[in-house]
Structure 1
Amino acid sequence: MRDAYHEQLDSVGHTLVEMAGLVGQALSRATRALLDADLPSAEAVISADDAVDALHRGLDVRTLDLIARQQPVAGDLRTLVASLRMSADLERMGDLARHIAKVARMRYPECAVPEDLRPTFARMGEIGAELADKVARIVEDQDVEAARMLERQDDVVDRLHRAVFNALLSKETAYTIEAAIDVTLLSRYYERFADHAVSVARRLVFLVTGGDE
């Protein structure tokens, strides 16, 4: 019985790693769809989000069932509660990638991002995908130090996010209202994706340390 219980605990961690991998792939593909006006890629991201949602629901059901049946305490309970919250963050990251893909689909065959801002969005997409990949490794390895370092990359995304707004407010640039709205939303999606990755990392630190520094 205890072996089965610990196998179920391990499966929760494996699911989190799988979700992180999927949302990272989704963001990479959504960014390609956005910048290349690639409709098939946009449609693929939108459809694939169902798999992330299914993993999220399945993990929540298994986790709550373990809490109810096994009545875990101490570290095991902390693992399960933290996993519920990490799963929610990862599911939201998948939603944000889908939002980006939907903007790409809506503006097809045009590109929703003005040409001068495309390098900025390409960089935000690259960093976001890297963050998701690091989250997967952090969860798998229970790597507290890597989790703490992840916030540095989030700071870069925040700076890029601010740079987009500075461009929108600059007198030297003149975007259409439609483009300005798209860019504002898109930049926020990338910024929030990175924020949720940091949230997962912080929960991992709490999970491993119990809040003790």
Structure 2
Amino acid sequence: MRPENEPEGQDRELSFIEKARRTQIIGAAAAVIAEDGIGQASLARIAKRAGVSKGVVSYHFAGKDELMTQVVLAVYEAGAHAMAPAIQAATTPREHLAAYLRSNVAYIAANPEALRAVIEIVSGYSPEGGGRLFEPGADEPIADHLVELFRRGQEDGSFRDFDPLVMAHTVRGAIDVIAPRAVRHPEIDLAAYAEELVALFDAATRGESP
């Protein structure tokens, strides 16, 4: 339970210990969901997996809705961090797109448990107040990065003329189906899958400039 003078949410700066505890609980939640499904992911079970009391979980998170939200955000943030070095090393828009695709698929391949948890939450979790945990359009900032990339590439001739928004969402759609398929079919060679995507979108976007 939160102190009476502390508002819900994270309006104040968290201490190092508090950040570490939240990370620990988020990791435990992801593990429980990935192993046993969203229906078995009670706060008590998550607390036990984290090695803390249920009260500690309730102190750090306003409720289960917040915890589930933070699990999804943590996975996406970790993915962005893992992808950054390869993307930043790219020197042209075409290299940038290829690095984006390869590093994205590599993160999916390296973190099946985390992605399984996200799939469970997004597809099977019902917030306490009804509705959806993430409203349609919540992933727009992810597509915005690609839109900007495509516009830059069109300006320098790396990419042909097309609607950057349509292409950005097409790329995201191609990536977003990978994790659910990999969960159902773990035998898929994701490295080869990534190369197919690179070839596909290079052909779809390439401009006349080399």
TM over 0.5: no
**More RCO (CA 8 Å, sep 6+):** 1
- The TM-score, its normalising length taken from structure 2, stands at 0.31
Greater gyration radius: 2
- The TM-score, its normalising length taken from structure 1, stands at 0.31
